[in-house]
Amino acid sequence: MTTQEDTIAITVLISRFFRALNERRFEGDWAKEYFTDDVRAESPHGTAVGAEAVRQSQQAVEDWAVIQYMNTDILVEGEGDSATASWNSLMTHIHHESTLKKLGEGLDPLFTVGGVWDVDLRRTADGWRFSRTSVRPIWMSGTAPQLPAAAE
């Protein structure tokens, strides 16, 4: 069982990570604050490991004019230096004008997803870090992004 201090630290990590994404704070080696070097990221866009997973996380934000992810009901379980967490997320995206022009006239710029995140975490010398992230959409509304052919 994780301690109360571990649960708080993991919850703060999750909040800080999504605040950084929402605010597009990618200065310096930003990913070291959130991920292990061997992180595995799973999403509708595909699966990536390590530096490629970090690059895809940043690119997934930059593909949109604006994003706002709101998370709730964080559940943390674990023991020792390993833990898991899951939560519900409302993920709101606004398409870039250039994307809307490519997709067709008159499309709603808003794309909203309700989903569930599941993560594995590892305690490092610098604190808790994500070693695996996975987002699973439950519902979607609006004009979806154009996924790579391999992910469709």
Predicted local distance difference test score (pLDDT) of residue 77: 97
Task: Report the CATH number that the domain containing residue 72 is assigned in CATH.
Answer: 3.10.450.50
Is 72 a member of any domain?
yes
Is 152 a member of any domain?
no
Is 26 a member of any domain?
yes
Is 31 a member of any domain?
yes
Domains held by the chain: number: 1
Q: Residue 40: which region, alpha, beta or left (left: phi > 0; alpha: psi -120 to 50)?
A: beta
The pLDDT tens digits along the chain (152 residues) read: 779 999 999 999 999 999 999 999 999 999 999 999 999 999 987 899 999 998 888 888 999 999 999 999 999 999 999 999 999 999 999 999 988 888 877 888 999 999 999 999 999 999 999 999 999 999 999 988 765 444 44
Predicted local distance difference test score (pLDDT) of residue 147: 55
Is 128 a member of any domain?
yes
Q: Are 14 and 74 in contact (CB under 8 A)?
A: yes
Contacts of 128 (CB under 8 A, 6+ apart): 6, 9, 10, 13, 83, 121, 122
Question: Residue 133: phi, psi to the nearest 5?
Answer: -125, 145
Is 75 a member of any domain?
yes
What is the span of the domain harbouring residue 12? 4-147
Predicted local distance difference test score (pLDDT) of residue 146: 67
Predicted local distance difference test score (pLDDT) of residue 1: 73
